Structure 1
């Protein structure tokens, strides 16, 4: 386990989520995440229904909704929308669509979608620009880089300050070495299952990510191993997932 974690972290660690509807983001933006945990046998049907929904959204050019989408290796589909405050959660996202296409038709569409999963979650995550490393500015949807690695660093109330200090040391390491592996950090917020920092790394594909990771390992050397282990020794637990951004399941209204 120690060897695996050392390799993971020293070569590439860190960076939906998915996750801004804007290519460039500033400040510590908050995002509302709706997550569907889709049954493996229902993935194809689920995606078909979602794309049908998006088709209706585009046909009627619904102005009061927008999101980007990612799906992870464990069949979670995350729909991510920026919010200004908690009051945004009370807005009826599909009210305008129901008016345009008819409540009965929309209800039937969502009924078809609902049978594809038994578990769904809604929660908030917060972009942390102070911990993120992207020298040219935060870009959460870099062109041609739809592959994602998501690293979940779980903490406790008692060690969150220490973990933050160690994360700053990681950023200093990446910056001082001029690393080409860029990452964005998100803090868990209201409604999440446990307290964590989620780090998202973008790449062209799995091969590109592996090559970037190997180059990063060689760049950091022994210095990287020490800094990463200082961080890992303070975590409650660590989880890693691969995923893909899904522009075909995202929605932005036209002007």
Structure 2
């Protein structure tokens, strides 16, 4: 995982694409696509990196998730797009010297590809009646649903997502979810639905109970989304508080 510094031109373009209110709900995601044979080595280096950050206290923060297909996602909130042009690790790298370089050389051995992109929390489509939060204590298990669509269908898909939320509200569903929209650095349009649970069994139980709550006619509502989707992907995984970091 490498720290990415953007150019002035990139920041200018991003600032044109986002207003202030959106920036407060924006996340920078760095994704490492770890090779199966290197998973143990990657875990070792990732924990070393988290511990080094706790020791040197760079002024930044991130949550970490790993998926069932061995992707590791480092998720950092962004207050303003100019934050992308700042390197919070400058002092840390100087203090660590060669150890900093060696640590990232070890990271690079663990994957053939990695990259970064932006996603935005869409609050008005999110269903969390008790308050919106990316992480919930005791609920580190995740289901992620990616709904891809063509640009020409963006408005229709959004209307469908709103209809789904209205259904959940009307039925007082106990299954909560967050909605994210793709942003800069992604090559396709998509909505990401994130659902939290204690573990896989708890997640499956909640999903089954929710089917009964929503009723047999709920597919008509879901179809308002799916009929305009170009493809659908589902992943499972978990949040990794042991790899997360927040400056003191």
What is the TM-score of this pair, normalised by structure 2?
0.89
Counterparts of residues 177-216 of structure 1 (less than 5 Å): 177-216=171-210
1:52 paired with 2:48, answer yes
1:166 paired with 2:160, answer yes
Aligned partner of 2:101 in structure 1 is 107
1 CA distance for matches of 2:187 and 2:111? 18
1:71 paired with 2:71, answer no
2 CA distance for matches of 1:84 and 1:230? 33
Listed as ranges, the gaps of 5+ residues in structure 2 are 1-20
2 CA distance for matches of 1:80 and 1:93? 15
- Which structure is higher in RCO with an 8 Å CA cutoff and minimum separation 6? 1
2 CA distance for matches of 1:109 and 1:214? 44
Aligned partner of 2:113 in structure 1 is 119
1 CA distance for matches of 2:85 and 2:32? 19
1 CA distance for matches of 2:99 and 2:219? 56
Structure 1 consecutive aligned stretches of length 4 or more whose deviation exceeds 4 Å: none
1:129 paired with 2:139, answer no
CA contact (8 A) 2:157 2:224 kept: no
Aligned partner of 1:152 in structure 2 is 146
- Across the two proteins, how many residue pairs are aligned to each other? 227
1:208-242 CA distances to partner (integer Å, 9 max, x unpaired)? 01100110111112221211122111101100000
2 CA distance for matches of 1:191 and 1:226? 33
Report the alpha carbon displacement of residue 207 of structure 1 after superposing the two structures with TM: 0.4
2 CA distance for matches of 1:86 and 1:150? 26
Report the alpha carbon displacement of residue 109 of structure 1 after superposing the two structures with TM: 0.8
Deviates more, 1:51-60 or 1:92-101: 92-101
Secondary structure at the aligned position of 2:147 is classed as strand
Report the alpha carbon displacement of residue 250 of structure 1 after superposing the two structures with TM: 0.5
Listed as ranges, the gaps of 5+ residues in structure 1 are 1-25
